[in-house]
A and B are shown apart, each in its own frame.
Chain A
Amino acid sequence: MKRLSILCCLVAALAVARPARATVHVVTSLQDFASIADAVGGKRVDTFALAKGYQDPHFVEPKPSFVLKLSKADLLIVAGLELEIGYLPPLIDQSRNDKIRPGAPGYLDASNGCDILEKPTGTVTRAMGDVHPFGNPHYWLDPDNGRIIARSIAARLTEIDPSGAAEYKANLATFEAKLSEGEKRWDAALGPYAGTQVVTYHTSWPNFLKRFKLVAAGYIEPKPGIPPSPAHTVELINMMIEKKIPVILMEPYFDQKTPKAVAEKTGATLVTFIPSVGGVPEAKDYVGLFDYDVKLLVDALAAKKGKP
């Protein structure tokens, strides 16, 4: 009896000494949001990204295995602006998880509060290509928006897991400091090339270009989501030669055939730019993504235009 009492006391003491802390399960549509959630949530969260960083985020397949992840999620972070419209709505429905439905605390549209570009004005039709009626969804490629996303995630994690508020606040401060240091590096590296015109494959980079004062002179795609046509490619080549465009930026998930041909004709350097964390092993986290891309771009511009 005495032994039993001692055992009970030990169990009770352990229970008091180590209060159970449930991990917050975070599912994100993009690895970028998972990276920021990892930074802000620290050890209190685990994350899973539906789309890999090297995959086209417009065409993610709604696999049943994702239902398992979503069914256990406490927080779902999406890009919004209809980027996930082709796969996420049916998965949320099938998850049987009310916590992550739009409007619930566990559903976070990361675009809220961010600087969203290319919002169409006037009539929007699919004659304009695969256009997003609420604006360009590649907004996370501006570190200023990354800061806003991190603050949104910290606020939402605090709402879901109030006992972790102090930890989330401290982690957010650390993330913001790291991001600010990164911004100084990136501004210094790209500053000398302000105003440079570039060509990109898809309209994936308006936020990146605006943030670093670069200009998109044209696109390999004639319209968003529409593959390059011969007539458009000829026009693009002529424009690039005339304007002496030094660089073509392309995402890793498109065919290189046309961009390579355009680069050969115009003398521009073709740079495979990474749009998301995990796109290459070096882009391990959100800050690392910009470190990787900025270095690629600076090296290409320096080779064409000379070092500042």
Chain B
Amino acid sequence: MIKKIIEFIKSEFYSYSKNVRTAIIIMLAIALCFAASALWIFLFGLGYTDMNNRMVWAAWIIGDFSLIVLGGGAFFTGFLFYIFRRDEFKPIIYNATLIGLLCYLFTFIFLALDIGQPLRFWFGYIYPNWGPHLLPYSMMTEVFFCITFYFIILVIEFTPTVLEHPLIIKYAPIKWTAHYMHKLMWIFAAIGTFLSFFHQGSLGGIYGMMYAKPVWYRPHLFFLFVASALASGPALTVLVTWFTGKVMKKEVVPFKTLSSLARVSGFMFIIYFLFRVIDIYVVATRYAPSYDRNYWDFWGGYYGLWTLGVELILCLIPTLLFVVRKFREQEKTLVIGVGAAVVAVIMNRFNETVRGFAVPNFPWDEFIGYLPTIQEFFVFFGIPVCMALAYMFCVKYLPIFPNLKKDEETSSEAS
């Protein structure tokens, strides 16, 4: 029995091209280092990171925030497809959901490592800091609940894809379930959008509601983060889909779908970019002076104004590229655009997190720096690698790309 499994794995492995095989080996090595690092952290504590009492959150929270904001492509695409009925997104909807699912799943892994008492994670559900109002006192409580429910929604949204696997779709109850789930999917998409709005926003609220910290305090950050999710989520979906197509050397999704999504992303980026500039203006003229602070003094040490500049420039690239049809419809510029979009939002999270923590709280203190330890490094890069491995697994064995199936059917018909 085991021999059969090993034979199966071997044959599957060798079915890939040499480049892909090398890549898989490297990725597995990194994943192994990641597992070792994660085990190290669980057993021996967070002392083995470069986080400290001032640099409270660092690489992993950036990973966490980035994954969630980029995973926003799932809800937005779902919203556009199931609620707005934009059928041009049909080929990509499963993939978007898959990407979202993986992003949120690995966010949980980032979080499990980042909190000091992972075994107490369930306290968040049983002892929430809710207070008497509808919205909880603590933004993080809200994030906790929302992403948990949204993850469940994502699982539900992804279930039909699993059920449509050729091996099991032939069973009648499965087919029946899948069919009706498709029909009712718009309910889940609606709930998903609603939940996403709240948790994307409250992730912004995590920083924005710290009222004693002028580096971060601005209540509208809630909405800025929603805008960033709407803008960059689709960009990641496009990027991953394009890359998958390149690796598989097939058109997994029609190019015009990618362009459409990029157009949506571009439109949202305009809103996001303007909002971001207004955000800077408002903080610099209203919030920071209310605390007798100078906004430009929040940029210094290792992470000076250049970080803001990089973020804004990267933000500008997709904004300018995507609104122009010519650039949207050319592969090269499309990829530059989505690449820049993804990096722009990660840069924004970096600016909020590490740069924000580097700012001194007392005038006699200095800016601090951050240099990840080996454990942090492997966790931070290991998680995307694991995601990639999981993604490859799903793409190979699940009907993620209806377009591919159609192509295969057409080509098999043709032959």
**Do A and B come together as binding partners?**
no
B residues engaging A (CB < 8 A)?
none
